[in-house]
Structure 1
Amino acid sequence: MKYFLLFIVCFAALYGYYVYTKTKDLLNPILTFSLPILLSVVVNLIFYDRGSYDISPRTYGVYLLGVAAFVCGCAVTIRPSSAKRVLQPVKLNYNSLVFNGYKLIAAIGTVFSIFYIFKGAASGVFGTNVIRNIRWYSLYVEQNSFIGKYSIVFIEIGFCIYAYKVCVLEHRDRKTKCWLLLFAIEYIVAIMTTMARTAILQFAVETAYFFMWGIQNKHRRRKRNSRFKIAILAAAALYAMQFLAIRTEKAFYLDDITGKTTNWLIPYLGKQFYIFDRFILPHAWVTRGINSFGFLGRVLQKLGILIPKYPIRIPGGQVASFITDPYTDFGAVGVIMVMLINGIVIGYIYRHAVKYSGWWLMFYSVCVYSCVISFYAFQFAMSSQLYFAVAALLLFVDGKLHLHVRDLSEWRKSQIKYLSYKSYQ
């Protein structure tokens, strides 16, 4: 079963590459979902599924169902054979007054976050190890920085808007670039309040997506320079994650399975199969939708509508991949249905992002992180994505949404006319 899973994931990656040949987008959902999982399967086979512990075929079977369901869902809505990349990205229409309010909230939240960081650093629990002090403070003392915690949504919107303007629309005036730099700094400050490596990954993925989208419209020499910048960004993100691991004294530790000292990347990439097999597999239909429904699930739990049968105990700091939450909610059937629905939704968003750009592209830049991180955790029901969508919709309160749709309709007609003209040449 494990080698059949390896075959299916390889097939999914090849299909993702086929989507890339049609859309010229390396960060399409199938490729970003399947490649990290492929790496995860390989690391598991090399380091964990051998020796004293054999992972059951049922674990690999559930994993296979999740991968197949997500890829099928994406394939249904993306329809790569007919997906054409946008020829001329649309401008973003939004309420400037509301957006200025977002800027103010982001600035206030950043100030709160800075004070929060100083409080955490001054806790002195681990002496002069500032990063570990902040991490400990955010986990065990004060788990949020008040408005600083929720301002991340407005910071993310501002960052995405200006990244879209600079990278996709190529608005390179000083004012626009300064705003992009300011929001990037605010984003980094927000990340520092938790010192979480996954937050660094999310920031890096969003940044890379806008850069890579803009690359496709450049000349060959400019493409080469831009790709070099993306390589530097990826290396910097990996270095930052390794640096945080070292400073929080989690870079190297004794693995309880292999009995050897290992780097944090190895269990992050490959240990989830062992964790699922040992701690998750016996607990199907326990949480009853609380995890898969995200924000709604937590609300229903508070109201006493969704009540878990019993708590599932997993050792702290462990990873269990994207199948854990759907499986504990609804069993193997839940893995199929939840991942199929998520694949359909993300595929729909992606198809519109490729064809129409604009706000669709903005939404997908936030959603793609859920695909990348699937090897590590189920993040398709993140509350932050819901908050992002609601905050983005509030930017249209003055009726500009109607104008945007009307302009988009006219733009689509011109694109179809252009494509028809090219087909006769």
Structure 2
Amino acid sequence: MTESFSTPPRRSLDSPAAGGSGHRWIDDIDALLAGGEDESDDRRPAAARAGFTGHFDGAILMAACAATAAITRLDERLAAASPYLRRGWQERWLLRSTIASMALDGRGLDEDDLRLDSIGALPRAADADLRVAREILSLSRHAARRTATKNLFAAPRLMALLRPPATVIERRLRNRRAQVDAAIEAGADERFLEIIGQPVDRVVARRGLEDALDPNALDSLATMPPVLGAVMLLARWHATAAPSLGAAPGRILADHWLRHAGLTRAAIGGIAVGFGRGARQDYEPCRMDTWAAAGLAAVRRSAEAGLALLNSLESAERAILERDACAIKRALESGERTRASRRDRVFEGLLHVLVERPAASLPQIQAAMDTTRPRYQRRTQGGIADMAAVPAPSIENPESPPLSRKRAGEEVVRRHISTLERRGHVVQMRHREDGKRAVMRIYRLVGC
């Protein structure tokens, strides 16, 4: 599970200056840009204490301030959103970050294919690009689920995360420390770091990882504003660990540095998204003269893209609810009291599932809503117990008995899905047929 959005992010113990923004790094950058004119606060900015002002000019600090403002704006909006909306946003954001990260490495994959593959509904066999995307997405999800980020920046733990224990011998080891050691010392494995598409020399990879995550270097990065520290961490990764471990893990670490430094509540970074088609040529972490400005601009653009994704999710949900409210009003005016008395709970549950999941099949939707579980009752007479409850026969139509609760739940979900599809709120991504009968339909929200 990711860090709770309701818990405020870690802040410095230093209190902000009177009249400040309330965020330490914004206040520090403002003080630097002001040239230290405000002498009422004798607390030296963290940036000045670290001495990095000699390496970055005012334009870089302005870019850092703009990126910080964009990231914190997205973080606050997500903190105010409902839990299922946050989960839906994060799942979609990880998908987009994975596709963007692959594009930076020269690999292409359609986002809808990755959506379908994540729920086991892709109609074709996995190719090399899809296997790479699986590993990047899996690594991103593992990192996002961690409540603490400290172990992500420790070489032994990250080495184990890059190659999770998978052999029978490792699974039998109950001690977690033994599992980590076994994962690090294991022999060659085709699945180890498949994200770079070639076998990995573990000794060289471990050496590069320890160099990239050197504690002294991380302490130096911690003195910078978090957005600038994330950008420079990615540059260090490319200079040390990327030749043996690939660039994708470094981008994931850079994204999580924002949470590690206390700027955000959860993993909302996505620097790869910021280097879209129009800025892909600016992705040159080895060029120190231009990288800081390009990286900070990408962080700002990624935060803006994340905010746009959140707005699209909220707009889609709001449009569906408003359309349903109009339907209830019309039903009330026409005298349909049953429909107009209240909004259908099944409809609300269906909407929550569609918002929370980037793609879902009809059985998965029904399972998430618990509409496929029959209701049981215990019969004390007749010697039969725990039999499924059978509804009483219908008086109006005795020839056709009413549907069971399981069947009724399925029909209600299908009816709501058909209504949303007819209104253009959901799209059917694909369906698998058995002869002339469709046995699986995959749905997703339009524009999300």
- The TM-score, its normalising length taken from structure 1, stands at 0.26
- The TM-score, its normalising length taken from structure 2, stands at 0.25
User: Which one has the bigger helix percentage?
Assistant: 1
Answer 1 or 2: higher relative contact order, Cα 8 Å, separation at least 6: 1
